[in-house]
Amino acid sequence: MNPSSSTAHILAELTLGEREKVLSERYLCERDNLISKFMAWTEQDQTDFCKHLLQRMCHHQHGQIDQFLGPMLKRDFISLLPTGLAENVLQLLDAQSLYACELVSKEWHKVIANGMLWRKFFERKFRSDQLWQGLANKRGWLVIILFLFITSVISIFIKMILNSNILSFSFRICLDVNYGQVRLQRH
């Protein structure tokens, strides 16, 4: 990828906030030649060369380089991942972390909402934690949970019908209310 066309590079240039400074004629003549030599080196050679350059710069120059590199190093990894993979990563979080992630950006909120991660979080809790199961029984949430599972089974069944020719098969819906599981069995 051409570095000058990358989004990070463009953002870095925008954040410099420098006024157009007059560059020396000698520098302008030699810059392209030096860059082509630099590009011919290995990655390790390039890194070593940059370290030596940085050691010879003053504090003010380090500040300008830092200002340039900052946006290039910031990446929204959740937004860059495919949706399913982002959901799998966020699904591993506890409630407090999931809530914090929901507030990060509209994109993260969308991934959490579309992936129904809160629903999956509560379903996991109901299945694995006796305290949550007791709370669900006491508050009468089992009816709601059962309804949600039945609607998801119907949704899955409709998708299966639309995606393939399964009309010749008969299915039996098995509900396990104690553990909140729904299975389709073919018989």
Query: What pLDDT, in 10s, does the model give residues 99-153?
Result: 998 898 888 889 888 888 888 888 788 778 888 778 777 877 767 766 766 777 6
State the average pLDDT over residues 146-164. 69
Q: Residue 185: pLDDT above 60?
A: no
Q: What is the structure's pLDDT at 177?
A: 47
How confident is the model at residue 42, as a pLDDT? 95
pLDDT at 2: 47
pLDDT of residue 36: 92
| Segment among 9-13, 22-26, 107-111, 116-120 with least mean pLDDT | 9-13
- Are 8 and 71 in contact by the 8 Å Cβ rule? The answer is yes
Q: How far apart are CA 85 and CA 103, in angstroms?
A: 19
Average of pLDDT values for 141-167?
67
**Confidence at residue 117, expressed as pLDDT on a 0 to 100 scale:** 87
Average pLDDT for 77-91: 86
> Residue with structure tokens 């940085």?
54
Indicate whether 160 pLDDT > 70.
no
| DSSP notation for 46-92 | HHHHHHHHHHTS-HHHHHHHHHHHHHHH---HHHHS-HHHHHHHHTT
**C-alpha torsion 79→85→86→92, nearest 10:** -160
CA distances from 165 to 130, 151, 168 (A): 41, 21, 8
